[in-house]
Amino acid sequence: MDNAALFNGCMINHEVIFNANMNELRPLSGDGECVSLNAPTARCLLLLLQNSGKVISRDEFLAAVWETRGVVVSQNTFYQNISLLRKSLLKAGLSADIIITVRQKGFSVAPDTLIIPLSDEECENMNRATLTHYQNNKVADVTAESKGHSDDHVVIPLTESLAIQGNELIENKVEIPEKQSERLQVTFKMPTWLIALIVVMIVIN
């Protein structure tokens, strides 16, 4: 189909790996289990995922999945494959049905479905352990980055601030004795005429 995203495997909602080369659904979380799909059912799923956001009609399914291979099937066979596909996705570990029936038009993938295309190698190697390791590494990277920003913006200015405050305290300690000395000098330096006046008053009395 036009504008379809071409891939042979993908991760669905971080819960299930779909490997179209192996016709396999593999769980990444929860209590899901590996499910082997028959070839037509796997092709139905691949057609839906590659055309996420579009409504695929019954005739388009029949043409892409069967008729291109010279096979003619009944409508009943087609609907049985869609029903089997829904059950298989839930069995593999999806927490919700992602296939939406659009009345009188066809089927499409739910709009909130997260589809991440994977290479053939990623499809083979991705499992619960590798997904957990990947997620833990992301958390560790974010934590280290946050700590680095904290060291840069908190510790260094605090050190500089303490040094500045220490210098100010030293300067203040030096100034205080000088001011006190000045006050003492002003207090005990009496004018000569005032001393003479006091002596005269004492003599008169």
Is 181 contained in some domain?
Answer: no
pLDDT tens sequence across 121-153 = 888 887 655 565 545 654 455 445 555 544 444
- Cβ count near 24 (within 10 Å): 17
The whole domain housing 99 covers 9-135
Q: How large is the average pLDDT for residues 80-93? A: 97
Task: Enumerate the β-bridge partners of residue 102.
Answer: 106
pLDDT score recorded for residue 162: 39
Is 57 contained in some domain?
Answer: yes
pLDDT score recorded for residue 8: 86
Q: Are 21 and 123 in contact (CB under 8 A)?
A: yes
Is 53 contained in some domain?
Answer: yes
Is 78 contained in some domain?
Answer: yes
Q: Global pTM?
A: 0.62
Q: Is the pLDDT of residue 171 over 60?
A: no
Q: At what angle do helices 75-92 and 39-50 cross, to 10 degrees?
A: 80
Q: Name the region of 152 (left: φ>0; alpha: ψ -120 to 50; beta: rest).
A: alpha
Q: Which two tokens stand for residue 23?
A: 């016709």
- Say if residue 120 is exposed, middle or buried (CB neighbours under 10 Å; 0-12, 13-18, 19+): middle
Is 191 contained in some domain?
Answer: no
pLDDT tens sequence across 25-66 = 999 977 899 999 999 999 999 999 999 999 999 999 999 999
Separation of alpha carbons 36 and 56, rounded Å: 23
pLDDT score recorded for residue 195: 78
State the chain's mean pLDDT as an integer.
Answer: 78
Q: pLDDT confidence of 175, banded at 50, 70, 90?
A: very low
Task: Report the number of distinct structural domains present in the chain.
Answer: 1
Q: Is the pLDDT of residue 165 over 70?
A: no
Residue 41 maps to which CATH number? 1.10.10.10
Q: Is the pLDDT of residue 81 over 50?
A: yes
Is 102 contained in some domain?
Answer: yes
pLDDT score recorded for residue 3: 59
Separation of alpha carbons 68 and 94, rounded Å: 30
Q: Is the pLDDT of residue 173 over 50?
A: no
Q: Is the pLDDT of residue 181 over 50?
A: no
Higher pLDDT, 1 or 100: 100
Q: How large is the average pLDDT for residues 88-116? A: 96
Q: pLDDT confidence of 196, banded at 50, 70, 90?
A: confident
Is 50 contained in some domain?
Answer: yes
Q: Is the dihedral of CA 101, 106, 112, 114 positive or negative?
A: positive
Higher pLDDT, 192 or 26: 26
Is 54 contained in some domain?
Answer: yes
